[in-house]
Amino acid sequence: MSTIAMPVFKSFANGDALVEKLADKIAQQLQHAIDERGRASLIVSGGSTPLPLFRKLSDIGIEWAEVSVSLADERWLPVDDAESNERLVRNHLLQGKAASAHFCGLVTMHATPAEGIGMATERLAHMPKPFDVVILGMGNDGHTASLFPCAAELDNGLSSEQLLVPMQPTTAPHARISFSLKALLNARQIYLHIAGASKKQVLDQALSSRDIKAMPIRAFLDQHRTPVDVYWSEQ
């Protein structure tokens, strides 16, 4: 069976040590982009794992007013819903020194992601591309962003030339809007941020085969266009 070579892999005993290193690395890359090109772009993921990273970033003094931030994917929910990724970003990243960053939300007033994609895409038009930094997570099923192996829309998400795609996973709640694979790979640097023994097992499983439809995270691990560094903490 054909396997995927392990990408750059950084391991840490605990989440605090990981966050310290990764936050400094991201902040340096964003400030470098601002120094070189006048603006920077940051794509983040939701969930609980990145919250300490968000809080650490918000305390680092770079020129946040020149940084545009968006989400790799979003649940199609009101932005004040407890399960909204935008709510997490606003409450944990766009605080303190990072309060002046410009956030580009993905959810619109439309009833469905398919109906709202046009407006959401327009909001993102001004973001510098390639994206300077993309931070991804990974589910136990090998999904990343909202590119779920169970979703009927997965083929479109993996092949679309569009920035955004609608997704309706069958193993997770809520309709979603997600960046497409090609849009996320249009980045200068991607970080995969994971924690715990179970996620290391999922990573090992992902590296054991090249079947991207079974585990979409493989589409990021098995390519040479964009650097992907894995940051993993044991705890």
Residues 6+ apart with CB under 8 A from 176: 73, 74, 75, 76, 113, 146, 166, 167, 168, 169
Helix and strand totals (H; E) in the chain: 8, 10
Give pLDDT, residue 1.
55
Which residue is listed with tokens 């935008």?
86
Q: List domains and CATH numbers for the chain.
A: 8-233 (3.40.50.1360)
Q: Is 51 exposed, middle or buried (0-12, 13-18, 19+ CB in 10 A)?
A: middle
Measured distance CA(210)–CA(168) in Å, rounded = 24
- Please give the single-letter amino acid code of residue 25: K
DSSP states of 85-148 as a string? HHHHHHHHTSSGGGTTSEE-----SSSSHHHHHHHHHHHTTTS-SSBSEEEE---TTS-BTTB-
Q: pTM for this structure?
A: 0.97
Q: Which residues of the chain have pLDDT under 70?
A: 1
Would you call 73 helix, strand, or coil by DSSP?
Answer: strand
